[in-house]
Structure 1
Amino acid sequence: MDDSRLEPSLQALKDRIPVNEDLKQRLRQEFVKPERRRFGLRRWGIAAAAAAVLIGICTFTLQGPEGIRSVAAQSLQVQNQISFVDIGSGSPLDFTEYKDTVYIPIAGKGLFAYDSQGFHQLLAREVSSSKIDSNGKRLIIASEGDLAIYDLSTGQYRVLLKQENDIYYEQPSWKDERSVLYVKKVTQPGPEHGFMVKESGIYELNLDTMQSKKLGDGSAPSYASQEQAIVFEKRVGDEPQIIRKELQGGQETVIDNGRFPSVSPGGEYIAYVKTEETSRELQPGASVEDRVDQVWIADVNGATKRSVTSNTPNEAVDEQEWVSSLQPGGIPQVLVHSGLFSYYNPVWSKESDSLYVLKGRNVEGQGISVMRIDLSAASLQTEEVVRAFNQAAILRDDVFLRSLLAGNQEWMTTSNPHQISFSIIGTGMENHQPYVDVEETRAYTANPDYSVGYSRYYMVRSDKGYLIERVGSTPGGDGVLISEQRDGAIAVERANGEREALLSKAAIPQQLRPAGDFRIASLAYTTKQKQVVFTIQALQDPSHNQQASVKVVQYDIGEKTFKELAHIQTIAGLGNVGVESIMVSPDGRYAALDLFSDDAPHLRSHIVLLDMEKKTSIPLEERMVDTSVEGTHTYYWEGDKLHFMLTSSGQQLHYVWNASSGTIGRP
């Protein structure tokens, strides 16, 4: 009952959330407001706020490209990049894609299919690697040293090569429908402990005759059909190199330094990971080395190549402080910076227009996600850039976001207030410069605070297409801020400086009030209807035999009327329901709430999606076929599309609900 005892914990949580000072300053120019009283949340509220912060760091989306015509690798442009699977437990070792289904092996859990229907387990056995054939019917699999084929239509699992003694079969890929490539590793005991790799040979297995032949030494083989060659990784000294080897003459060509090569299904390009190293001297005897992973693509003949990521050094150690700590005349010292991210195992999509890459953040406690990079021969246009920028801002992908800015601009995205939706509302020219206008909605973690603002993005052309030169306020934008005041009342503040008290606990009609203790919790605002959609949080109150529950109420500012939309007393079959957040679609028709049960053994979020016109609920979780749904959590609105996260088998997966079609799909 005593919320105030949780105030220190809540404040500690808020203190860990960086604040975008530039954004705060710009918002202050639109809304002049006093400081507001902050209130503590109950136990489920603290967990919900923490979940919102943690989930918001991990993932994001885009629209798929039309495909790539055959052009040089250096001419391909990055359309967008999205991290859409956050690996919550276990480690993904490899993955493969066919027509929007991604097959992901998770260490300790098995092989899963991630598609528009959900997240389904295909195999319970340990799988380290899988690759799908060109028809999307069979997977070639490495499992605990064995090589096997899994038929997706029949579920038949057939072992081709069995691990024995010190021989292991790994990293399989398809050469064609009748033969596969694989790596045969022969190990021997190490001089003191562990083991050493005696042989890492690349072999071809004929599936008709079951005969194998050796093609060379190396790892990560991939077939280049246009060149009648294989591409693989080979270590030359301490340096990994990407090699192309002709199958007829055996001639080897070095494409580049790098790891994890993957040839596109059409045979035109090679994707790989390359560590770029630079060094600089700070003073005699003290230097810095940057060792930063980037994902690269090259023509299969090596004619052209380019990087498709913008990873930057993770400068966790202050260089000047480090230099000052060194002893004069001591042994020469080197400070090494890795990249913000490490990349692994790039894999091409079926249409060769996207890359799937494992992305690990080099920060303690951060997991691995599956990232998609979309490519096109076309340059980015103004609306595409702004859409990608807003997605990156919401999902806090600083590296990709900055690649969309002209010059060396800084932009902090992990902030409060944080953006929860955007909608492009117009384009035009101002002083011969193109611009894009965007409606942006922001909320403040764990507070009834909701703002709608209007930004104008000024664009400038570059050799990669358009970039964002600067961001200002849209002239005449009717921004509003709905928030709690010092006295606990809810007020609206407009960009022109007007402020109007809207409602308070005392103003709520008696028939809408719970019998026991309650408070006004999360709220939202609909710009077209001029309505506040707020939640009434009924608190656990034994004196009135009251359990926690949530009412969703619509308040019309012009008519000054209240309308109950829903009363939610159970979630996932459990009572004592609490609300973390609410966000409404830009058209004002739908409201998405994140709710929790205080009775659940593990505090997880579940989405309730309301059609406010029909006063009906849309059961998102029930539409995930054959999926063990552990929880769902809202992400953001993009126009009439609700992006949300689904937790299944310990993994967090990104999905999109389309209001126009009423369907759920992958981003």
Structure 2
Amino acid sequence: MMENEKIKKTLYELRNEIAVDTDLKKQLRKTFVKKSRTRKWKNAWIPLLAAASMFLAFLLSNEQVPQHVKASSLKIANAISFLDIGSGEITAYTYHDGRLYLSLEGRGIFVYGNELKKVLNDAADSFSRSSKGEKLLFTYNGDVFLFDVKTTKSEKVLDGTSDSSYIYPEWKDQNHIYLTKVTDKEKQIVEVNVQTKEETIIVSGEMASFVEKEQKLVFERHGEIIIYNVKSGKETIVDRGKNPSVTNDGNYISYVKERSGFEDVWISDMDLETKNKVTTNPPPRYEPSGEGMYRYHLPIWGNDERTLYVMKKRNDGENGPAKIMKIELSEQSSTEIETVKSYLQALMVRDDDFAKSLLKDPPEFLTYSNPKQIGFQILETTKNEQSTSVKAEVYWTDTSLAYYKVSTYDLTLMKKNERYVIETVKELSTTELLANEQNEVELVKDGKGEALFSLQDIPQSFNQTENIRFSSLLRTHDEKTVIFSLQGMDEKSRFTLLSFNRETKAFNLLVTLEGGIMEKVALDATGRFLTADYSTDAFDSKMFIFDLEKGKQTDFTNVHSVFWKGDKLILKEVAKTHSMYYQYDPHTGSKINY
């Protein structure tokens, strides 16, 4: 976003530096009022002026500023819970210049980029939604602090008192901030001069977002979202809800709204013309409770008005970690293929709420611990008069058994309310690879089984011990090769990874590890890269990527593979306190936030 701003500034400076011949401009003006005998001269300049306009339009279009549309026209392009906090409660978070800043109770303030990095020992009760330059505001224990994101230094700018405390800071201008002042009697939004500490009461309420271009405050009061005109004092109710936040350009408001016990995130136009629900909170997995599976908190906007972040926590008794979900919005409907890809991705990261939002009639359960999906490919698309059929191949594994499945599905989609919805999901065929009771690896295709090889068929040189069993395995996409692991059952838990050529009946050793328990193997869409997840005696999460073409191995620690997205791998990095997703490119060794 900073790069876009620099480009914008440079382009406008360039525009201002273009030399203009004022005398020529006067002559051109005269040609527009001359008689027909001069029109030929005037018309000769029209293509040049049009070309100049097109040139400037082309340059400025590179800013890629989203076109403003009504909230009801924004559709969910994608959603993923990419950051889990397993230890320490998230007390506050905000977004600044492409990065999230999170406060974890008792642990301090962290910045999320390619990693979760601690930048300040002090925690925060609340962050400012916006910044002034590189300066964010935060509150802690009733006091207000200024945080410099470049130096990662903080300084106290305002003290709370024994009778009142401050929370929810928001910049007005360089010298003034809005705050929620909390007393025993009420919550008030006040304006404070940072230099003089002079305080002015504005209105009763809390959690204010300032819309500079319209001089308005958007805040919460007694379960309602309200717009307050700073100049006139006029109030307008937006909707029932809590936790309001406004986009940087002031076009949209996000908030959490509850209906019949189910919380969801909504967005509204600033002019209140339309509203839109952008999450689908599913019911609990087991006993109905009259409440949704999740509680949503603090939906905040990214740098543009197409990205929304929201914290969600389980509400069904499972006490899972708090998650940060990223919601990408678009005025363009996702295509049929994009819809299917988003649905399959949601299944693989177990985002039931987003997956169910893409189905016309979602079942009660969508995702299970085992077997689990580890990859997919789109095979073909067929358009009919009323619907579209998308065929996809999905790969499954079981983390506790020697089991692998390839399923081909036909997903039928129809357009509903300007977006595609999956109407039916039909399994067309299955191919299973498993270890049977006779210690054979068996291929079962549409119910018909074929024994491929047994433990006794494997050369003794690959078996250093008799106490072994088949573990994780898979079939390559061309169906010619089976890749499998042999798991040692002694204390050292030694395992080997081998391949079996179905045509030549030859075995080949790929990898040997002296210690560890194999969990799963998966293959990328090209068939070149193989991932193997395993744990050591200490139960640390380990993984390696094996290049089948070059025979090269790349090792990872405290990482789980989630699924292959084409030839890119979605990984889950696991720490003691948190886990987060990122995308890894095995061709370049680079990773990006997901």
Same fold (TM over 0.5): yes
1:604 to 536, 540, 544: 540
Name the counterpart of 2:217.
230
Query: Structure 2 vs 1, CA of residues 456 and 411 (structure 1 numbering), >3 Å: closer, same or farther?
Result: farther
CA distance in 2, matches of 1:620, 1:210: 52
Name the counterpart of 1:499.
449
CA distance in 2, matches of 1:176, 1:262: 18
**Larger RCO, structures 1/2 (Cα 8 Å, 6+ apart):** 1
Where does 1:34-183 land on structure 2 (aligned, <5 Å)?
68-115=66-113, 117-131=114-128, 133-134=130-131, 137-183=134-180
- Note if 1:364 corresponds to 2:291: no
User: What per-residue deviation string (whole Å, max 9, x for no partner) do you get for residues 242-295 of structure 1?
Assistant: 11111111111111111111011110011011111xxxxxxxxxxxxx322121
Name the counterpart of 1:347.
300
CA distance in 1, matches of 2:188, 2:182: 7
Query: Structure 2 vs 1, CA of residues 225 and 649 (structure 1 numbering), >3 Å: closer, same or farther?
Result: farther
How far the C-alpha of 1:410 sits from its partner, in A, is 5.7
How far the C-alpha of 1:94 sits from its partner, in A, is 2.3
Report the number of matched residues: 530
Query: Structure 2 vs 1, CA of residues 179 and 534 (structure 1 numbering), >3 Å: closer, same or farther?
Result: farther
CA distance in 2, matches of 1:127, 1:528: 54
Name the counterpart of 1:517.
467
Contact 1:526 1:586 survives alignment (8 Å): no
How far the C-alpha of 1:437 sits from its partner, in A, is 1.8
Where does 1:393-404 land on structure 2 (aligned, <5 Å)?
393-404=347-358
Contact 2:100 2:112 survives alignment (8 Å): yes
Query: Structure 2 vs 1, CA of residues 585 and 258 (structure 1 numbering), >3 Å: closer, same or farther?
Result: same
Letter in 2 for 1:366: N
How far the C-alpha of 1:652 sits from its partner, in A, is 1.5
How far the C-alpha of 1:373 sits from its partner, in A, is 1.6
How far the C-alpha of 1:166 sits from its partner, in A, is 3.3
Q: Structure 2: state its 5+ residue gaps.
A: 1-63
Letter in 2 for 1:604: D
CA distance in 2, matches of 1:448, 1:646: 25
Contact 1:516 1:539 survives alignment (8 Å): no
CA distance in 2, matches of 1:171, 1:429: 51
CA distance in 2, matches of 1:593, 1:136: 45
2:552 to 580, 593, 616: 616
Structure 2 length as normaliser, TM-score?
0.84
Query: Structure 2 vs 1, CA of residues 369 and 136 (structure 1 numbering), >3 Å: closer, same or farther?
Result: farther
Higher mean Cα deviation, 503-512 or 345-354? 503-512
Name the counterpart of 1:326.
none
Contact 1:584 1:590 survives alignment (8 Å): yes
Where does 1:208-357 land on structure 2 (aligned, <5 Å)?
210-235=197-222, 240-276=223-259, 290-314=260-284, 337-357=290-310
SS of equivalent residue, structure 1 residue 255: strand
Letter in 1 for 2:463: R
Contact 1:129 1:143 survives alignment (8 Å): yes
Name the counterpart of 1:468.
422
SS of equivalent residue, structure 1 residue 506: helix
CA distance in 2, matches of 1:412, 1:131: 38
Contact 1:647 1:653 survives alignment (8 Å): yes
CA distance in 2, matches of 1:464, 1:422: 26
- Note if 1:458 corresponds to 2:397: no
Higher mean Cα deviation, 411-420 or 122-131? 411-420
Name the counterpart of 1:489.
440
How far the C-alpha of 1:103 sits from its partner, in A, is 1.4
CA distance in 2, matches of 1:528, 1:394: 23
Structure number, greater radius of gyration: 2
CA distance in 2, matches of 1:607, 1:504: 27
Query: Structure 2 vs 1, CA of residues 301 and 386 (structure 1 numbering), >3 Å: closer, same or farther?
Result: same
CA distance in 1, matches of 2:174, 2:402: 58
Query: Structure 2 vs 1, CA of residues 389 and 408 (structure 1 numbering), >3 Å: closer, same or farther?
Result: closer
Query: Structure 2 vs 1, CA of residues 100 and 439 (structure 1 numbering), >3 Å: closer, same or farther?
Result: farther
Letter in 2 for 1:414: Y
CA distance in 2, matches of 1:469, 1:537: 42
SS of equivalent residue, structure 1 residue 391: helix
Query: Structure 2 vs 1, CA of residues 465 and 136 (structure 1 numbering), >3 Å: closer, same or farther?
Result: farther
CA distance in 2, matches of 1:261, 1:615: 53
Letter in 2 for 1:586: A
SS of equivalent residue, structure 1 residue 249: coil
Name the counterpart of 1:648.
575
CA distance in 2, matches of 1:432, 1:126: 55
Contact 1:98 1:136 survives alignment (8 Å): no
User: What per-residue deviation string (whole Å, max 9, x for no partner) do you get for residues 535-558 of structure 1?
Assistant: 1222336xxxxx332222122222
CA distance in 1, matches of 2:70, 2:486: 58
Name the counterpart of 2:521.
582
Name the counterpart of 2:10.
none
CA distance in 2, matches of 1:620, 1:266: 41
How far the C-alpha of 1:487 sits from its partner, in A, is 0.3
Contact 1:67 1:353 survives alignment (8 Å): no
Contact 2:158 2:197 survives alignment (8 Å): no
Query: Structure 2 vs 1, CA of residues 202 and 456 (structure 1 numbering), >3 Å: closer, same or farther?
Result: same
Name the counterpart of 2:489.
539
CA distance in 2, matches of 1:642, 1:648: 19
Structure 1 length as normaliser, TM-score?
0.75
How far the C-alpha of 1:617 sits from its partner, in A, is 2.1
User: What per-residue deviation string (whole Å, max 9, x for no partner) do you get for residues 17-55 of structure 1?
Assistant: xxxxxxxxxxxxxxxxxxxxxxxxxxxxxxxxxxxxxxx
Name the counterpart of 2:560.
633
CA distance in 2, matches of 1:317, 1:618: 44
CA distance in 1, matches of 2:442, 2:361: 40
Letter in 2 for 1:494: K
- Note if 1:657 corresponds to 2:593: no
CA distance in 2, matches of 1:100, 1:619: 29
How far the C-alpha of 1:180 sits from its partner, in A, is 2.9
Contact 1:311 1:340 survives alignment (8 Å): yes
Contact 1:519 1:538 survives alignment (8 Å): yes
Contact 2:498 2:509 survives alignment (8 Å): yes
CA distance in 2, matches of 1:292, 1:528: 47
CA distance in 1, matches of 2:273, 2:308: 20
Query: Structure 2 vs 1, CA of residues 464 and 99 (structure 1 numbering), >3 Å: closer, same or farther?
Result: farther
Identity %: 30
CA distance in 1, matches of 2:385, 2:205: 58
CA distance in 2, matches of 1:67, 1:337: 42
SS of equivalent residue, structure 1 residue 93: strand
Contact 1:550 1:579 survives alignment (8 Å): yes
